[in-house]
Structure 1
């Protein structure tokens, strides 16, 4: 017989080892499998040319989903398509390469129509496109903030509106949007990015309540912590056209493969909000949810460390709890 103390110790060990919220981990352990729930579904992925979007394409194709791959770089989309075909039994016509610029909102109706013309339906939209940010607010041009909101927020809202009209007509579908831990918690050096992700959270939380008459349409927000991807390399700096000087290494971050496996578990089981992060970042999610006063204290400590790293010319995310080492050439 387990004692109460042993039970608490077991729960603590499980939490320390956890890399997602309990609902999502439960779905991954005992819920529907992607190969069953998503097989033959038409999944439109924006930002599919790299990072989480690219890995989503690979794992979805292996699960038998039919794909629409969108991003601005058409040549990279064709590369991803070729690998998807190698990893799966899909045919060429099962994967549509559809270049898309989220900033060109006037084209979003035409792009949606192109998907419907090819597949006749859209079962899942994964809003994954976006850019991050590294820079102190006082040193950052206001144009950076405008660009982040135009891309991360308004571009996502625009494509969602067109796809949702189709899903309402059919009475079924999933709209999943990759937000961030920064959509729930302020992130120093990423004030504009955090603002755009907070906007995403507020928008989709509200949209979900507007769709109560359509119970088979699921609005899902995905909130990853640090994950290996290209988003840091493409991040805005203090000026719109100024590249980031140092993206840093990513050894401390969750693997893209693990993150996407959890996302697919959430989509397969229609989880409405997914927290995906290794410790201590997962703990930060829970602290902000249940003990905000303590969360403010810890976030301030982490934020100070992040700003210090950045001012020292180091990767802002590296080594929160150990002395950071500058990269050697």
Structure 2
């Protein structure tokens, strides 16, 4: 009888392990975020009529955030440098939702011009009287080898991705502390937690954001209703690659390549909204095998280093051969045409 019970228990454990492995290999986000998406508050409940300020709202993840937030009835502040693109996004938000004209504020913003950030924050508060959610999404990526890259590129990445984000956060956080509530969410990256070739400066700026917001979160222990959330996507279809830094500050990227192999922007943003609605402090969003890298770097860094070196070497070889950096982890290197 005891043997029978033990056999049944062992079988149950084996089945459970197999089910969890299957769940993991088909997952596209960490289990905490997936649980929030399946069982937590809906965006319609948590974000309706909230004032959400999105930087980098003219394309990619920021643009899709605007559409999905408009669909659930959130009031929006759309910021980026390209005002005409912001108005395009605004028009589409109004067309697809029940929002009225004064529910969406177009606010051109240059993250590099930190002297204007107080003025911009005041403009939002004058229009809406409050800021419930700040989504720090503005920034640029990088595609270049370290030894070939001018030092000004690294300065530009830190000024924009890190200091620009910190500056806006400081102004908005002062309001949230006075108000006693709010969410500050920052789009970091998988390379905010690990290293990746061709992205030394970009990874450094995202590591800086991770360290800054992890530390800031501890400073806000006396304000439990203010949530600091970091969003770490893996490869996602976005315009960020088109505007990436190369070896020189003003040099355009020569080969953007096919981006269709990446996670869809719509799915990524849907998961982000689930995280924001349930105040998830850190979100890992990526399809396999990139999601596996999050867990390896978190729990088995020695193994993660070994695998990263293998794929990193291949990625550099393919980059030097003139192939697209994002699509070449698993493809064979071909020499450049002479």
Q: TM-score range by the shorter chain?
A: over 0.9
Determine which of 154, 158, 161 is the counterpart of 2:163.
154
CA distance in 2, matches of 1:192, 1:255: 25
Determine which of 177, 184, 192 is the counterpart of 1:168.
177
Determine which of 20, 27, 41 is the counterpart of 2:50.
41
* Structure 2 residue 210 is matched with structure 1 residue 201: yes
Q: Which runs of 4+ in 1 moved over 6 A?
A: 325-328
> CA 1:70/1:257 → structure 2, altered by over 3 Å: closer, same or farther?
same
Provide Cα deviations, 1:279-327, integer angstroms capped at 9, x if missing partner: 0000000000000000000011111111111101111121422336799
* Structure 2 residue 83 is matched with structure 1 residue 79: no
* Structure 2 residue 311 is matched with structure 1 residue 302: yes
> Is the CA contact 2:321–2:334 (under 8 Å) kept in the aligned structure 1?
no
- Corresponding position of 2:5: none
Q: What is the RMSD of the two structures over their aligned residues, measured on CA atoms?
A: 1.4
- Corresponding position of 2:246: 237
> Is the CA contact 1:226–1:253 (under 8 Å) kept in the aligned structure 2?
yes
CA distance in 2, matches of 1:212, 1:5: 41
Please say which structure displays the higher CA radius of gyration: 2
- Corresponding position of 1:99: 108
CA distance in 2, matches of 1:67, 1:35: 15
Which runs of 5 or more residues in structure 2 are unaligned? 1-7
Which runs of 5 or more residues in structure 1 are unaligned? none
Provide Cα deviations, 1:208-262, integer angstroms capped at 9, x if missing partner: 0000000000000000000000000100000000001101111210000000000
Which secondary structure state, in structure 1, belongs to the residue aligned with residue 24 of structure 2?
A: helix
> Is the CA contact 1:222–1:263 (under 8 Å) kept in the aligned structure 2?
yes
Provide Cα deviations, 1:144-202, integer angstroms capped at 9, x if missing partner: 00000000000000000000000000100000000000100011000000000000000
Which secondary structure state, in structure 1, belongs to the residue aligned with residue 186 of structure 2?
A: strand
CA distance in 1, matches of 2:130, 2:100: 18
Determine which of 46, 58, 61 is the counterpart of 1:52.
61
> Is the CA contact 2:53–2:135 (under 8 Å) kept in the aligned structure 1?
yes
- Corresponding position of 1:120: 129
CA distance in 2, matches of 1:142, 1:265: 39
The offset of 1:5, in angstroms, is 1.7
Aligned residue pair count: 328
Determine which of 30, 35, 41 is the counterpart of 1:26.
35
Which secondary structure state, in structure 1, belongs to the residue aligned with residue 222 of structure 2?
A: coil
CA distance in 2, matches of 1:276, 1:284: 11
Determine which of 241, 244, 262 is the counterpart of 1:253.
262
* Structure 2 residue 282 is matched with structure 1 residue 273: yes
Which secondary structure state, in structure 2, belongs to the residue aligned with residue 3 of structure 1?
A: helix
- Corresponding position of 2:196: 187
Which secondary structure state, in structure 1, belongs to the residue aligned with residue 127 of structure 2?
A: helix
CA distance in 1, matches of 2:311, 2:94: 43
CA distance in 2, matches of 1:149, 1:19: 29
CA distance in 1, matches of 2:152, 2:333: 32
CA distance in 2, matches of 1:233, 1:6: 45
CA distance in 2, matches of 1:179, 1:60: 20
